[in-house]
Amino acid sequence: MIKIVAFGASSSKTSINKQLANYAAQQIPNAEVNLLDLNGYEMPIYSVDKENESGIHPLALKFRAQLDAADGIIISFAEHNGAYSTAFKNIFDWISRGGPNIWGNKPMFFLSTSPGARGGQSVLEIAVGKIGRMTSGTIEHFSLPEFDKNFDNGITDAELLAAFNEKVNAFVSKLNN
Protein backbone atom coordinates (compact mmCIF):
# COMPACT_ATOMS: atom_id res chain seq x y z
CA MET A 1 0.00 0.00 0.00
CA ILE A 2 1.29 3.46 -0.90
CA LYS A 3 1.74 5.85 2.03
CA ILE A 4 0.77 9.46 1.36
CA VAL A 5 1.24 12.38 3.69
CA ALA A 6 -0.98 15.34 2.81
CA PHE A 7 -1.64 18.73 4.34
CA GLY A 8 -2.89 22.19 3.67
CA ALA A 9 -0.09 24.69 4.28
CA SER A 10 -2.33 26.84 6.44
CA SER A 11 -3.27 27.16 10.10
CA SER A 12 -6.91 27.95 9.36
CA LYS A 13 -9.26 25.50 11.05
CA THR A 14 -11.52 25.70 7.98
CA SER A 15 -8.69 25.73 5.43
CA ILE A 16 -9.81 25.32 1.84
CA ASN A 17 -6.27 24.17 1.07
CA LYS A 18 -6.54 21.38 3.62
CA GLN A 19 -9.83 20.36 1.95
CA LEU A 20 -8.13 20.32 -1.45
CA ALA A 21 -5.10 18.37 -0.16
CA ASN A 22 -7.41 15.78 1.41
CA TYR A 23 -9.46 15.51 -1.79
CA ALA A 24 -6.31 15.00 -3.86
CA ALA A 25 -5.01 12.34 -1.48
CA GLN A 26 -8.31 10.46 -1.71
CA GLN A 27 -7.82 10.18 -5.48
CA ILE A 28 -4.70 8.04 -5.08
CA PRO A 29 -5.62 4.37 -5.52
CA ASN A 30 -4.62 1.93 -2.77
CA ALA A 31 -3.20 4.69 -0.60
CA GLU A 32 -2.93 4.97 3.14
CA VAL A 33 -3.39 8.70 3.75
CA ASN A 34 -1.93 10.58 6.69
CA LEU A 35 -3.66 13.99 6.67
CA LEU A 36 -1.66 16.39 8.83
CA ASP A 37 -2.96 19.57 10.45
CA LEU A 38 -0.36 22.31 10.87
CA ASN A 39 -2.09 23.40 14.08
CA GLY A 40 -0.67 20.27 15.68
CA TYR A 41 2.86 21.51 14.95
CA GLU A 42 2.87 25.03 16.41
CA MET A 43 6.37 25.96 17.50
CA PRO A 44 8.22 29.13 18.41
CA ILE A 45 9.35 31.13 15.40
CA TYR A 46 12.55 29.52 14.17
CA SER A 47 15.84 31.23 15.00
CA VAL A 48 19.41 30.03 15.20
CA ASP A 49 19.49 31.22 18.81
CA LYS A 50 16.52 29.02 19.76
CA GLU A 51 18.08 26.07 17.95
CA ASN A 52 21.43 26.61 19.71
CA GLU A 53 19.71 26.90 23.11
CA SER A 54 17.31 23.96 22.82
CA GLY A 55 18.12 21.97 19.70
CA ILE A 56 15.64 21.17 16.95
CA HIS A 57 12.12 21.47 18.29
CA PRO A 58 10.52 18.05 19.01
CA LEU A 59 7.46 18.93 16.89
CA ALA A 60 9.76 19.59 13.92
CA LEU A 61 11.30 16.16 14.39
CA LYS A 62 7.82 14.63 14.57
CA PHE A 63 6.71 16.43 11.40
CA ARG A 64 9.87 15.39 9.58
CA ALA A 65 9.29 11.77 10.65
CA GLN A 66 5.84 11.91 9.02
CA LEU A 67 7.44 13.06 5.75
CA ASP A 68 10.15 10.40 6.00
CA ALA A 69 7.56 7.62 6.47
CA ALA A 70 5.63 8.58 3.32
CA ASP A 71 6.08 7.35 -0.24
CA GLY A 72 4.62 10.58 -1.63
CA ILE A 73 3.78 14.07 -0.39
CA ILE A 74 0.76 16.25 -1.22
CA ILE A 75 0.77 19.89 -0.13
CA SER A 76 -1.87 22.49 -0.92
CA PHE A 77 -0.41 25.94 -0.34
CA ALA A 78 -2.39 28.80 1.13
CA GLU A 79 -1.32 32.14 -0.28
CA HIS A 80 -0.70 34.89 2.25
CA ASN A 81 0.33 38.16 0.61
CA GLY A 82 1.62 36.26 -2.41
CA ALA A 83 3.80 33.81 -0.46
CA TYR A 84 3.72 30.93 2.05
CA SER A 85 1.63 31.16 5.18
CA THR A 86 3.67 31.88 8.30
CA ALA A 87 2.59 28.53 9.74
CA PHE A 88 4.13 26.62 6.82
CA LYS A 89 7.24 28.80 6.58
CA ASN A 90 8.01 28.25 10.25
CA ILE A 91 7.65 24.47 9.98
CA PHE A 92 9.72 24.55 6.78
CA ASP A 93 12.48 26.48 8.58
CA TRP A 94 12.50 24.08 11.54
CA ILE A 95 12.48 20.84 9.49
CA SER A 96 15.23 22.12 7.21
CA ARG A 97 17.57 21.96 10.20
CA GLY A 98 17.19 18.18 10.50
CA GLY A 99 19.40 17.36 7.53
CA PRO A 100 19.75 18.29 3.89
CA ASN A 101 17.18 16.00 2.29
CA ILE A 102 13.94 17.28 3.80
CA TRP A 103 11.69 15.90 1.09
CA GLY A 104 13.41 12.53 0.64
CA ASN A 105 13.44 12.88 -3.16
CA LYS A 106 9.87 11.56 -3.11
CA PRO A 107 7.22 12.33 -5.71
CA MET A 108 5.24 15.38 -4.67
CA PHE A 109 1.96 16.92 -5.76
CA PHE A 110 1.65 20.64 -5.04
CA LEU A 111 -1.69 22.37 -5.12
CA SER A 112 -3.04 25.79 -4.34
CA THR A 113 -6.45 27.33 -4.22
CA SER A 114 -8.06 30.57 -3.15
CA PRO A 115 -11.39 32.35 -3.54
CA GLY A 116 -9.80 34.45 -6.29
CA ALA A 117 -9.32 33.91 -10.01
CA ARG A 118 -5.59 33.12 -9.75
CA GLY A 119 -6.09 30.27 -7.26
CA GLY A 120 -2.90 30.93 -5.31
CA GLN A 121 -0.65 30.73 -8.35
CA SER A 122 1.98 33.06 -6.84
CA VAL A 123 2.68 30.82 -3.85
CA LEU A 124 2.54 27.72 -6.04
CA GLU A 125 5.25 29.16 -8.29
CA ILE A 126 7.38 29.97 -5.24
CA ALA A 127 6.94 26.47 -3.81
CA VAL A 128 7.71 24.66 -7.06
CA GLY A 129 10.79 26.84 -7.59
CA LYS A 130 12.18 26.67 -4.05
CA ILE A 131 11.38 23.10 -3.12
CA GLY A 132 12.15 21.92 -6.65
CA ARG A 133 15.75 23.03 -6.09
CA MET A 134 15.89 20.97 -2.88
CA THR A 135 14.87 17.59 -4.28
CA SER A 136 15.46 15.30 -7.20
CA GLY A 137 11.92 13.98 -6.75
CA THR A 138 9.29 15.02 -9.24
CA ILE A 139 6.75 17.73 -8.51
CA GLU A 140 3.37 17.79 -10.20
CA HIS A 141 1.36 20.94 -9.57
CA PHE A 142 -2.17 22.25 -10.01
CA SER A 143 -3.95 25.48 -9.09
CA LEU A 144 -7.71 25.62 -8.52
CA PRO A 145 -9.16 29.11 -9.03
CA GLU A 146 -12.32 30.39 -7.37
CA PHE A 147 -12.61 27.64 -4.79
CA ASP A 148 -16.18 28.49 -3.77
CA LYS A 149 -17.33 28.28 -7.39
CA ASN A 150 -15.29 25.25 -8.47
CA PHE A 151 -15.28 22.92 -5.45
CA ASP A 152 -18.09 21.13 -3.67
CA ASN A 153 -16.79 17.87 -2.17
CA GLY A 154 -14.73 17.71 -5.37
CA ILE A 155 -13.82 19.77 -8.40
CA THR A 156 -17.05 20.69 -10.17
CA ASP A 157 -15.77 22.34 -13.36
CA ALA A 158 -15.24 19.65 -16.03
CA GLU A 159 -12.23 21.32 -17.64
CA LEU A 160 -10.48 21.91 -14.32
CA LEU A 161 -11.29 18.36 -13.21
CA ALA A 162 -9.73 16.95 -16.39
CA ALA A 163 -6.56 19.00 -15.81
CA PHE A 164 -6.46 17.92 -12.16
CA ASN A 165 -6.91 14.25 -13.08
CA GLU A 166 -4.05 14.49 -15.57
CA LYS A 167 -1.77 15.73 -12.76
CA VAL A 168 -3.03 13.05 -10.35
CA ASN A 169 -2.26 10.36 -12.93
CA ALA A 170 1.25 11.72 -13.45
CA PHE A 171 1.82 11.77 -9.68
CA VAL A 172 0.52 8.20 -9.33
CA SER A 173 2.81 7.00 -12.14
CA LYS A 174 5.81 8.43 -10.25
CA LEU A 175 4.66 6.74 -7.02
CA ASN A 176 4.56 3.41 -8.80
CA ASN A 177 8.10 3.68 -10.19
Q: What is the mean pLDDT of residues 165-174?
A: 97
Question: pLDDT by residue (tens digit) across 8-61?
Answer: 999 999 999 999 999 999 999 999 999 999 999 999 999 999 999 999 999 999
Question: pLDDT by residue (tens digit) across 49-107?
Answer: 999 999 999 999 999 999 999 999 999 999 999 999 999 999 999 999 977 789 999 99
If you count them, how many residues does the chain have? 177
Q: Tell me what pLDDT residue 99 has.
A: 77
Sign of CA dihedral 38, 44, 49, 55: negative
Question: pLDDT by residue (tens digit) across 111-120?
Answer: 999 999 999 9
Question: pLDDT by residue (tens digit) across 126-155?
Answer: 999 999 999 988 999 999 999 999 999 999
Strand order in the sheet with 72-77: 31-36, 2-9, 72-77, 108-113, 139-144
One-letter amino acid for residue 104 of the chain: G
Q: Tell me what pLDDT residue 78 has.
A: 97
Query: Which pLDDT band holds residue 176 (cuts at 50, 70, 90)?
Result: confident
One-letter amino acid for residue 81 of the chain: N
Q: Tell me what pLDDT residue 147 has.
A: 98
The helix or strand, by DSSP H or E, that contains position 97, with its residue range, turns out to be none
- What kind of architecture, by CATH, is found in domain 2-175? 3-Layer(aba) Sandwich (3.40)
Q: Tell me what pLDDT residue 101 has.
A: 86
Give the domain ranges of the chain: 2-175
Q: Around Cβ 26, how many Cβ atoms within 10 Å? A: 13
